[in-house]
Amino acid sequence: MYAIIREGGRQYRVSEGDRIEVQSHPGPVGSEVVFPEVLLYGDQTGVEVGRPRLPDVQVHGVVEGAVKGPKLRIFRYRRRKDSRVRRGHRQGYLAVRITRIVRGAAG
């Protein structure tokens, strides 16, 4: 069983037990997160596609903690002007372990 969810402007294909990194938002470690925007749901019987989303499917997960993405190096240079700027950036993410995919309004 798998689902495609939308979170933070991105889409993720998830199954139970998967670990995903979503845009960082506040939440203590161990708290439950619900992703209500499910775009596609698939299991042994077939695939169900939402238009644009499936209202009776939810994806539940548990927050594992904050992680950082890869280091990005930003280097700006203006030729003949003796102007150089070097910066770095690491995007913050929230690691979430998918615990279950619930079909039906019971949630």
Residue 57 corresponds to which amino acid?
A: V
pLDDT tens column, 1-35: 999 999 989 999 999 999 999 997 778 999 999 99
Amino acid 24: pLDDT: 78
pLDDT tens column, 49-101: 999 999 999 999 999 999 999 999 999 999 999 999 999 999 999 999 999 99
The 10 Å Cβ neighbour count of residue 102 is 16
Residue 42 near residue 78 (C-beta atoms within 8 A): no
Separation CA 94–CA 13 (nearest Å)? 16
Amino acid 104: pLDDT: 82
In the chain, the number of structural domains is 1
pLDDT at 105 > cutoff 90: no
Residue 7 near residue 22 (C-beta atoms within 8 A): yes
Q: Is 3 exposed, middle or buried (0-12, 13-18, 19+ CB in 10 A)?
A: buried
Q: Which residue range(s) make up the domain with 46?
A: 2-103
Separation CA 90–CA 74 (nearest Å)? 11
Separation CA 68–CA 86 (nearest Å)? 20
Contacts of 17 (CB under 8 A, 6+ apart): 97, 98
pLDDT at 107 > cutoff 60: no
